């Protein structure tokens, strides 16, 4: 009596073969073995074997036993090997701040289809489900977070793709002024950061004073020669990754 577990394995999964042979005395077993792909060529000698099917498809596993008098008995067990999906993480790798939109891609051979996606941090903590989803990481910027996404097909076969994201500090640009026409006006740069950029990280500031003049110092001064209303803009740039506000 042959036993095969599982009968519907996933591509790349190990399958256990076992057969229990019972003969009436005085017959004895002279030889036995498994042909796991049905090509009539023995693959394993003996009643037990373990085999991995690396290609999806239908197979006929044949167990053959030769007893006294060269009496041969065979038993055929049909096996269906389901295709394994192929998962990939599609981004991002660098992110300004801690709120991240994670994206992935899963593919599997028809007629199977992708059924579910589960996201985990390294260590196994689940953080969400879905092919793509938004997540706010419980970590300060300028840290690296790692994890993986598991995609499962309609046949129950799964594949994993890992991810690594560098969370970078994000600026919130702002400034204050005390206005007075014809005088040198100092601009107090009050930009704040979500996370602290490291020393020498390349923090730049681009100013537009609304009268056609610009500046690139952290706290500039500027003289307006005419009265009026001016729109002043400062852009804080984390040049190491091009993040700005």
Mind giving me the DSSP string for 192-227? Answer: EEES-PPTTS-EEEEEE-SSS-EE-SSS-EEE--S-
Give the separation between CA 37 and CA 162, rounded to whole angstroms. Answer: 34
In this structure, what are the phi and psi dihedrals at residue 163, rounded to the nearest 5 degrees? -140, 155
Of 215-219, 225-229, 241-245, which gets the smallest average pLDDT? 241-245
Question: The whole model's pTM is what?
Answer: 0.72
At 1, is the pLDDT very low, low, confident or very high (cuts 50, 70, 90)? low
- pLDDT, mean of residues 66-89: 93
Q: How many CA atoms lie within 13 A of 181 on its CB side?
A: 6
Of 16-25, 40-49, 81-90, 165-174, which gets the smallest average pLDDT? 165-174
Is it the case that residue 241 has pLDDT exceeding 70? no
pLDDT tens-digit series, residues 92-145: 888 777 788 999 999 999 999 999 999 999 999 999 999 998 998 876 666 789
Handedness of CA 117, 122, 127, 133 (dihedral sign): negative
Q: How many CA atoms lie within 13 A of 240 on its CB side?
A: 16
Give the separation between CA 42 and CA 138, rounded to whole angstroms. Answer: 56
pLDDT for the residue 8: 96
Tokens for 24? 């009436």
Name the percent of the chain lying above pLDDT 90. Answer: 53
At 199, is the pLDDT very low, low, confident or very high (cuts 50, 70, 90)? low
Tokens for 227? 């009265």
- CA-to-CA dists, residue 90 to 35, 113, 126, 129, 149, angstroms: 41, 19, 19, 15, 11
pLDDT for the residue 226: 82
Give the separation between CA 39 and CA 73, rounded to whole angstroms. Answer: 17
């Amino acid at each position: 009596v042959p036993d095969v577990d599982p009968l519907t394995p996933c591509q790349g999964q190990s399958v256990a073969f076992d057969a229990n042979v019972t003969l009436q005395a005085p017959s004895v077993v002279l030889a036995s073995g498994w042909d796991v792909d049905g090509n009539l060529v023995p693959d394993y000698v003996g009643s037990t074997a373990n085999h991995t099917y690396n290609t999806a498809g239908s197979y006929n596993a044949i167990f053959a036993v030769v007893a006294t008098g060269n009496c041969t008995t065979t038993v055929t067990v049909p096996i269906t090997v389901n295709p394994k999906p192929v998962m990939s993480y599609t981004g991002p790798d660098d992110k300004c701040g801690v709120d991240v939109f994670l994206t992935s891609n899963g593919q599997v051979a028809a007629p199977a289809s992708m059924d579910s996606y589960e996201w985990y941090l390294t260590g196994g903590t689940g953080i969400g489900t879905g092919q793509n989803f938004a997540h706010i990481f419980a970590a300060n910027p300028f840290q690296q977070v790692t994890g993986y996404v598991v995609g499962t097909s309609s046949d129950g076969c799964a594949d994993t793709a890992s991810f690594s994201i560098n969370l970078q500090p994000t600026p919130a640009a702002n400034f204050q002024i005390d206005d007075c026409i014809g005088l040198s006006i100092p601009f107090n740069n009050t930009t704040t950061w979500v996370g602290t950029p490291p020393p020498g990280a390349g923090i730049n500031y681009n100013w537009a004073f609304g009268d056609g003049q610009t500046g690139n110092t952290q706290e500039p001064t500027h003289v307006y020669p005419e009265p009026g209303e001016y729109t002043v803009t400062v852009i804080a740039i984390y040049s190491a990754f091009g993040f700005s506000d």
